Structure 1
Amino acid sequence: MFGSVRRGSLARQVLALQLLVLAVVVLVGSALTVLDERRDADDAARREVVAVAETLADADGTVQALRSPDPTSVLQPQADRISAATGTDFIVVMAPDRTRYTHPDRSLIGGRFTGTIDRALAGETFTETYAGSLGPSIRAVAPVVDDGQVVGLVSVGVTRERISDQFLRGLPLILTLAAGAMTLAAVGSILLARRVRRQTLGLAPEELRTLYEHHDAVLHSIREGLLVFDADSGTADVVNDEARRLLSLPAGPVAREDLPPSLRGLGSGRVQDEVHVTGDRVLVVNQAPVLFEGRRIGTVLTVRDQTELQSVTGELDSMRLFTDSLRAQAHEAANRLHTVVTMVELGRTDAAVAFATAELELSQHLIDRLTATVLEPALLALLLGKVNQAAERGVELTVTDDTAVPSADPLTARELVTVVGNLVDNAIDAAAEPDGDEPWVEVTVHADDAALDIRVADSGPGMSADEFAAASRRGHSTKSDHHGLGLALVAQVTSRHGGRIESENTYGAVVSVHIPRERHE
Structure 2
Amino acid sequence: MSVAGQLLILQLVVFTVVAIVAGALIVVDERRDADEATRRTVTDIAVTAALFPEVAEGLVSPDPKSALQPRAEQIREATGVDFVVIVDPEGIRVTHPVPEQIGLPYTGHTDEARSGTPFTETYTGSLGPSIRTIAPVYDDGTLVGFVSVGVTRERIAENFVRSLPGILGLVAAGLGVTAAGGYLISRRLRRQTLGLNPDQLRRMYEHHDAVLHSIGEGLLVFGTADGSPRVDIVNDEARRLLGLEPVGAVEFDGLPATVRELAVADEARDEVHLTRDRVLVVNSDAVLWNRRRIGTVVTLRDHTELRGVLGELDSVRGFAESLRAQAHESANRLHTIITMVELGRTDEAVAFATQELAVSQHLIDRLTSAVHEPALSALLLGKIDEAAERGVELTVTDDTELGPVPIPARDIVTLVGNLIDNAIDASHASDDPWVEVTVRQENSSMIVEVADSGRGMSPEVLARAMQRGYSTKSEQRGLGLALVVQVVARHGGTLRTEPSLGSMIVAEIPVGGTS
Give the counterpart of 1:302 among 291, 299, 321: 299
Correspondent of 1:326 among 320, 323, 336: 323
Secondary structure, aligned partner of 2:229: coil
Which deviates more, 209-218 or 272-281? 209-218
User: Which residue of 417, 436, 439 maps to 1:442?
Assistant: 436
Runs of 5+ consecutive residues of structure 2 not aligned to the other structure: none
How does the TM-score come out when normalised to structure 2?
Answer: 0.93
Q: In the TM superposition, what is the alpha-carbon distance from 1:368 to its structure 2 partner?
A: 1.0
Unmatched 5+ residue regions in structure 1? 1-6
Secondary structure of the residue aligned to 2:347 is helix
* Matching of residues 47-126 of structure 1 within 5 Å: 47-126=40-119
**What is the CA–CA distance in structure 2 between the aligned matches of 1:180 and 1:220, rounded to whole Å?**
51
Distance 1:113 1:274 in 2: 105
Change (3 A) 1:215 1:302: same
Q: Verify the 8 A CA contact 1:393 1:432 in the aligned structure 2.
A: no
- Structure 1 residue 249 displacement after superposition: 3.3
| Corresponding residue number in structure 1 for 2:37 | 44
Is this contact kept in 2: 1:234–1:255, CA < 8 A?
no
Looking at structure 2, the residues matched to 201 and 295 of structure 1 have their Cα atoms a distance apart, in angstroms, of: 17
Match of 2:408 in 1: 412
Q: 1:128 to 1:508 in 2, by over 3 A?
A: closer
Q: Alignment length, in residue pairs? A: 510
Native 8 Å contact 2:113 2:119 kept in 1: yes
Give, in whole Å, the separation in 2 of the partners of 1:43 and 1:319. 106
What SS does the aligned partner of 2:228 have? coil
The answer to which of 125-134 and 32-41 deviates more is 125-134
CA distance in 2, matches of 1:310, 1:134: 107
Asked if 1 retains the 8 angstrom alpha-carbon contact of 2:423 and 2:454, the reply is: yes
**Residues 407/198 of structure 1: CA separation in 2 closer, same or farther (3 Å cut):** farther
Indicate the residue corresponding to 1:4 in structure 2: none
Select 1:244's aligned residue among 218, 224, 239. Answer: 239
Contact 1:430 1:461 in 2 (8 A): yes
Q: Quick check: 187-196 or 226-235, which moved more? A: 187-196
Q: CA deviation at 1:400?
A: 0.8
1:196 to 2:189 alignment: yes
**2:232, 2:96 → 1: CA distance?**
83
2:458 pairs with 464, 484, 494, which one? 464
Pairwise CA distance, 1:44: 0.8
CA distance in 1, matches of 2:21, 2:152: 28
Q: 3-state DSSP class of the match of 2:498?
A: strand
1:284 to 2:281 alignment: yes
Deviation sequence 1:142-167 (CA, Å, 0-9, x none) = 23345665432221111222212222
What CA distance in whole angstroms lies between the structure 2 residues aligned with 1:345 and 1:37?
135
The equivalent of 2:478 in structure 1 is 484
CA contact (8 A) 2:426 2:472 kept: no
1:141 and 2:137 matched: no
> Which segment is superposed worse, 113-122 or 323-332?
113-122
Q: TM-score, normalised by structure 1?
A: 0.92
Partner of 1:35: 28
- 8 Å CA contact 1:503, 1:511 repeated in 2: yes
Question: Deviation at 1:374?
Answer: 0.8
Q: 1:83 to 1:273 in 2, by over 3 A?
A: same
How many angstroms apart in 1 are the aligned matches of 2:127 and 2:461? Answer: 106
Mapped partners of 1:15, 1:233: distance in 2: 33
RMSD of equivalent CA atoms: 2.3
Give the fraction of aligned pairs with identical amino acids, expressed as a percent: 59
**Match for 1:248: what amino acid?**
G
SS in structure 1 at match of 2:496: strand
2:428 corresponding residue in structure 1: 432
Corresponding position of 1:354: 351
Preserved contact between residue 307 and residue 479 of structure 2 (Cα < 8 Å):
no
- Tell me if the contact between 2:68 and 2:95 (Cα under 8 Å) persists in the aligned partners: yes
